[in-house]
Amino acid sequence: MNIPLALRLRRRSISAPRRSMKLQPHYDPEAFGRFSEGVARLIGTARFLVFQTILVIVWILVNAGFGSLRFDEYPFILLTLALSLQAAYAAPLILLAQTRQAERDRLNSERDRQIADRTQTEAEYLAREVAAVRLAVGDMGGDLHDVRGALRDVHAALARLEEALAARERPG
């Protein structure tokens, strides 16, 4: 039996999930998130601001003062483009880093709340146990008082018996 190639391929594809033929870029969201946090950490430092300020000042001085070294004349369009490009990329990266930090803070808060709930439950349990021990000790104190009273009664009865026995043994 001679089955055409197209039918054989079609039969195989029925048993397996179809794959899209589109070529899409793949990236690791976790790695990209760590990268964005690194960028946000760098951009948020005083060292970066000082470096960027010095770079802008040098750029302007070179392009305003030295005729032979000029590469970006007065309205400094190339500088403006570079700073705009930096801002265009920095803002979403900083927002992504803030979102990740907010998620970590939310998870930490949830974990802290669970720990606080467990601690409160354990404290309530211990308070009930201490109350039960106090009640038991209080009952024992009452029982002890009853035992002391009974012991006094027995002691008094023994004293009367001894007197009675002593009276019988005496002549007379």
- Mean pLDDT on 110-118: 96
Domain boundaries, the chain: 28-127
- Mean pLDDT on 40-56: 93
Distance of CA 34 to the CA centre of its chain: 18
Counting residues of the chain whose pLDDT is more than 90, the rounded percentage is 45
Instruction: Give the chain's length.
Output: 172
Counting residues of the chain whose pLDDT is more than 70, the rounded percentage is 83
